[in-house]
């Protein structure tokens, strides 16, 4: 969910609450307001998918917040992810030891993805294609 999706969700809830609780608003006005919000949100989502410059402006790139079992505290701070939150996500992903983790990615949707370390297999480069890896100094062959 992007920040615009979140704002749209809040706006829809606000309009619905106003229509339900305030007798000065009619159902027609509420319906028009909801239709406008939903229409604008749909148009905005479509434009973000189709126009690359808008996509760069309005969506965040996924960030690596843990690499090869080491927490990247600066990245975690930038993503507003605490150590306790990261450890909770690692438990959810059935991680027993930090060395079992190849990468933890903070997705643009706010989700956290865990890629397990497997010495026999390399991570498919396509999985890290859109991820911001600028601060990592790793050999692409080791990915």
Residue-wise pLDDT for 37-54, tens only, equals 999 999 998 998 899 898
Check whether residue 74 and residue 136 sit in a common domain.
yes
pLDDT at 6: 85
Count how many Cα atoms sit within 13 Å of the Cα of residue 88 in the half-sphere of its side chain.
Answer: 6
Residue-wise pLDDT for 111-141, tens only, equals 999 999 887 788 888 888 888 776 565 544 4
The residue range of the domain holding 42 is: 3-58
Check whether residue 138 and residue 85 sit in a common domain.
yes
Check whether residue 53 and residue 74 sit in a common domain.
no
pTM of the model: 0.70
Burial class (CB in 10 A: 0-12, 13-18, 19+), 112: buried
Percent of the chain with pLDDT over 90: 55
The tokens describing 9, both together, are 């969700």
Check whether residue 42 and residue 74 sit in a common domain.
no
**Beta-bridge partner residues of 80:** none
Residue, of 139 and 73, whose pLDDT is higher = 73
Check whether residue 43 and residue 81 sit in a common domain.
no
The tokens describing 56, both together, are 């760069």
Check whether residue 128 and residue 99 sit in a common domain.
yes
Check whether residue 87 and residue 100 sit in a common domain.
yes
pLDDT at 106: 94
Domain total for the chain? 2
Check whether residue 107 and residue 127 sit in a common domain.
yes
Check whether residue 71 and residue 91 sit in a common domain.
yes
> What 3-state class would DSSP assign to 142?
helix
pLDDT at 1: 67
Domain-ending residue, one of 39, 58, 77 = 58
């Amino acid at each position: 969910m992007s920040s615009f999706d979140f704002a749209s969700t809040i706006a829809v809830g606000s309009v619905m609450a106003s229509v339900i609780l305030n007798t000065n608003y009619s159902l027609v006005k509420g319906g028009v307001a909801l239709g406008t919000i939903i229409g604008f949100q749909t148009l905005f989502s479509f434009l973000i998918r189709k126009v690359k410059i808008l996509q760069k402006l309005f969506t965040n790139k996924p960030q690596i917040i843990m690499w090869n079992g080491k927490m990247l505290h600066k990245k975690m701070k930038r993503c507003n992810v605490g150590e306790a939150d990261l450890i909770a996500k690692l438990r959810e992903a059935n991680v027993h030891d930090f060395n079992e983790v190849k990468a933890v990615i903070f997705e643009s949707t706010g989700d956290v993805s865990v890629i397990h370390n497997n010495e026999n297999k390399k991570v498919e480069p396509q999985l890290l294609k859109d991820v911001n890896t600028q601060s990592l100094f790793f050999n692409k062959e080791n990915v």
